Amino acid sequence: MTVSRRDLLKGAALAGAAAALPGGLVGPAAAQTTQKRELVVAQGGDISSLDPHMSTSSNDIRISFNIFDNLTSRRPDGKLVPALATEWKLQGQQAWAFKLRQGVKWHNGDPLTSADVKFSVDRTYDPAAKTRVSTVLTTIERIETPDATTVVIHTKKPDPLLPARLGFYAGQIVPKKYLESVGPDAFNQKPIGTGPVRFVSWTKDDRVVLDANGDYWGGKPDFDRLIIRALPEMAPRVGALLKGEVDIATQLPPDQGERVKSNPGTIVSGALYGGLYVLAVNSKVKPLDNPLVKQALSIAIDRDVIIKELWRGRGIVPSGPIAKGDNHFDASLPALAYNPKEARELLKKAGYKNEEIVIETTAAYMAGDKPMAEAIQAMWKDAGVNAKVEVFEYSVRAQKNRDKSFKGLWWSDPTSTLRDPDGMMWRLLGPGGPQDYWRHAEWDELGNAARFSVDEKFRGEAYKKMTKIFLEHLPWIPVIQPYEDNGLQKYVEWNPDPLQQLEIRRFNFKFRRA
C-alpha cells in the first residue's frame, strides 16, 4: 500500500553526506512551548489525489483520513473506536447495524445521513466509479438505510471484521449530494468531508493547506491551519525540522535519530509498525520447496545484530506471522531464534546441495532493504548457504509481484490493515492472494474458517494452529518489526500511528503552550 515508503531511505547517500558533517548543528533555541496556531508537517512525497477512494498510499491517507471520517476509527493505540457511527452490532450472522452520530455536518453545512454512507460504500466497488479500493469491501452484499441515522450492511458470508474494514482505507465516507452535483473530477479538486480539517488548497509537489473545522464533532483541532509539505529528500526534511520550519517530520530513518535527539529543540517519536518486514519465499522453486531449508535460513539470521547495527535498536524480533499489537498475537511465543550450528544441521538433514538461493531486493524502497539483504547474505554464507543478492528497481518488483515471478526470496513489508491476521497473513498468503506461492490444506482450511467466523475464541485457536504450521513451513521468513520514527518539535504533543496515518484530532494532538 505504501508507494511512498521508498522515500524513507531514498536519500541514504545524502544522509551519509549530511551525517559526515561536523556535529553541533544547533537549531533555534530549545523552545519547549509555542504560541503557534499553524501546524506544519513534512512528509516524504506529495499526495496524488484528494478523493479518498482513489489511493491507498501513505502520503495520501495522512490527509484523506483528516478531511474525511470513517464509521469506525483505529486509534494510534490500536483500539477500534466509534467515529461517524456511535455504535454497531451484529444482527444474526450476516448483518451489521450501524447507528450514526447525530448532528454531524459536511464542510458545506449539509447534514450527514445514512444515504451518504450507503453511497460511499457502494461507490468503492462500483465499476463505473473506477476507484482504487474496489477490493477492500467486497464481503458486502447489500446495504439498507431504514432511517436517516441507521445503516444495515448485509455481508455475503459472516464477516467478523467488517467494522475494522470500515475503519481503514476505502471506509472514508464521502458526501453523496455534493459529489453527485459537482462530479468526481471537481470533487477531487475541491473535496468536502466531515473531518477535523477543511481543504483549502493544493500546490502540487509543494504543499496542501487545510483549515481547522471549528464545527468538528470531535472538537476543533488545536491549530487554525495545517500545512502538509512534500519534502522528498531526507536531509532537507531533517534540516527543515532542525531549523524549526516544520513541527513534525515523518519517515525519519533510524540513522537520523541521534541528530534529531541531540538538537535541543527536537525529539524522536516512533510507533511500532503495524506489520512486519519479512523475506517472502517462493516455496515453489528448489530448494525452497523444502521446509527444512527454510527453517535453516530462518535460524541462520542473527536478527539482534540487524536490529542493533542497521536499525540502531529501533525494532523488535518477531515471533511468527502475527505482528505485535494485532488481535490474536501470542505474547507467549518466543522470538525467532538464531543458531548457526543448528542451521548447518538442518541443511545437512535437508540434503541441501549448495544450490544458489537468491534474495531480490530494492535499494531504499523499503527502509533498510539492501543493507539487510547483504547482512543476511553474509550470515547465510557463514552457515554454508550459497546465497546471492540481486538488486532491482521498485517498478520491476511491482511487476514481479503481479506476475508472481520472484526467483527465491524478496522483501515484503505486509501491513496489518485490520490489525488482525486476516488482514495480513491471510490477505497476502491465502489462496489466490498476492503472495500465494505455498499451499497447505490444513492451513488453508483454518484460514478460511477464521475469516468467516464471528466467534473470536474459535478464531484465536485457528490462528494459533496456523502459526504453528507457518513456523514449520515458513512461507515468509519474518525478520523485524521496526519502529517508524518521526521528528517532532518539543512543543508538539502527538502520538504517531502504527499504520502511517497522521492523527491530528483533538485527542491526539496539542501544541504545548506557555
* Distance, C-alpha 194 to centroid of its chain: 23
Please identify, using beta-carbon distances, which residue of 243 and 464 lies nearer to another protein.
Answer: 243
Residue given cell 455481508 in the structure block: 155
Counting Cα atoms < 13 Å in the Cβ hemisphere of 54 gives 15
Q: Which of 203, 262, 354, 386 binds another protein (CB under 8 A)?
A: 203
CB of 288 to another protein, least distance (A): 21
Considering only 21-29, 213-221, 295-303, 462-470, which stretch makes contact with another protein by CB under 8 A?
A: 21-29
Q: Which of 122, 233, 342, 444 binds another protein (CB under 8 A)?
A: 233
* Distance, C-alpha 35 to centroid of its chain: 33
Please identify, using beta-carbon distances, which residue of 52 and 196 lies nearer to another protein.
Answer: 52
Report, in angstroms and rounded to the nearest whole number, the Rg of the chain calculated over CA atoms.
23
Say whether residue 31 binds another protein (CB under 8 A). no
Please identify, using beta-carbon distances, which residue of 112 and 252 lies nearer to another protein.
Answer: 252
Cα–Cα–Cα angle for 437, 438, 442, nearest 5°? 150
Say whether residue 205 binds another protein (CB under 8 A). yes
Nearest to 294 by CA among 471, 40, 442, 487: 471
Considering only 20-28, 299-307, 354-362, 496-504, which stretch makes contact with another protein by CB under 8 A?
A: 20-28
* Distance, C-alpha 388 to centroid of its chain: 29
Sheet holding 85-91, edge to edge: 85-91, 95-100, 150-155, 140-147
Quick check: 251 and 44 in contact, CB under 8 A?
yes
Query: Which grid coordinates are listed for 38?
Result: 499553524
CB of 334 to another protein, least distance (A): 30
Task: Enter the DSSP assignment of 308.
Answer: I
Strand 277-281 and strand 476-489: the pairing is: antiparallel
Please identify, using beta-carbon distances, which residue of 397 and 459 lies nearer to another protein.
Answer: 397
Q: Which of 232, 265, 287, 325 binds another protein (CB under 8 A)?
A: 232
Q: Which of 218, 236, 264, 460 binds another protein (CB under 8 A)?
A: 236
Which residues partner with 494 through β-bridges?
509
The mark string for 418-447 relative to another protein (x by CB under 8 A, - otherwise) is ---------xx---xxx-------------
Binding to another protein (CB under 8 A) within 372-411 occurs at 394-396, 398-399, 401-402
Binding to another protein (CB under 8 A) within 81-110 occurs at none
Quick check: 177 and 110 in contact, CB under 8 A?
yes
d(CA 400, CA 407): 9
Please identify, using beta-carbon distances, which residue of 313 and 433 lies nearer to another protein.
Answer: 433
Say whether residue 25 binds another protein (CB under 8 A). yes
d(CA 388, CA 171): 42
Q: Which of 188, 290, 339, 448 binds another protein (CB under 8 A)?
A: 188
The CA–CA distances, whole Å, from 341 to 77, 289, 296, 330, 427 equal 40, 22, 10, 27, 35
Query: Which grid coordinates are listed for 207?
Result: 504543499
CB of 206 to another protein, least distance (A): 4
Say whether residue 141 binds another protein (CB under 8 A). no
- Count helices and strands in the chain by DSSP H and E runs: 16, 20
Residues in the chain: 514
CB contact set of 119 (below 8 Å; sequence gap of 6+): 174, 176, 179
The CA–CA distances, whole Å, from 87 to 97, 217, 404 equal 8, 16, 41
CB of 119 to another protein, least distance (A): 20
CB of 134 to another protein, least distance (A): 6
Residues in binding contact with another protein, number by CB under 8 A = 55
Nearest to 508 by CA among 224, 196, 198: 196
Please identify, using beta-carbon distances, which residue of 101 and 229 lies nearer to another protein.
Answer: 229
Say whether residue 185 binds another protein (CB under 8 A). yes
Please identify, using beta-carbon distances, which residue of 122 and 436 lies nearer to another protein.
Answer: 436
CB of 14 to another protein, least distance (A): 6
Q: Which of 8, 9, 18, 280 binds another protein (CB under 8 A)?
A: 18
Say whether residue 54 binds another protein (CB under 8 A). yes
Cis peptide leading into residue 22 (ω within 30°): no
Say whether residue 248 binds another protein (CB under 8 A). no
DSSP string, 410-469: EEE--B-TTSSGGGTHHHHHSTTSTT-----HHHHHHHHHHHT---HHHHHHHHHHHHHH
Please identify, using beta-carbon distances, which residue of 105 and 407 lies nearer to another protein.
Answer: 407
CB of 278 to another protein, least distance (A): 13
Binding to another protein (CB under 8 A) within 108-137 occurs at 127, 130, 132-136
Query: Which grid coordinates are listed for 343?
Result: 542451521
CB of 363 to another protein, least distance (A): 13
Quick check: 369 and 361 in contact, CB under 8 A?
yes
Considering only 148-156, 225-233, 285-293, 379-387, which stretch makes contact with another protein by CB under 8 A?
A: 225-233
Please identify, using beta-carbon distances, which residue of 429 and 474 lies nearer to another protein.
Answer: 429
Considering only 42-50, 85-93, 144-152, 501-509, which stretch makes contact with another protein by CB under 8 A?
A: 42-50
Residues lying near another protein in the complex (CB under 8 A) are found at 1, 3, 6, 14, 17-18, 21, 25-28, 45-46, 48-49, 54, 56, 127, 130, 132-136, 185, 188, 203-207, 229-233, 235-236, 239-240, 242-243, 245, 394-396, 398-399, 401-402, 427-428, 432-434
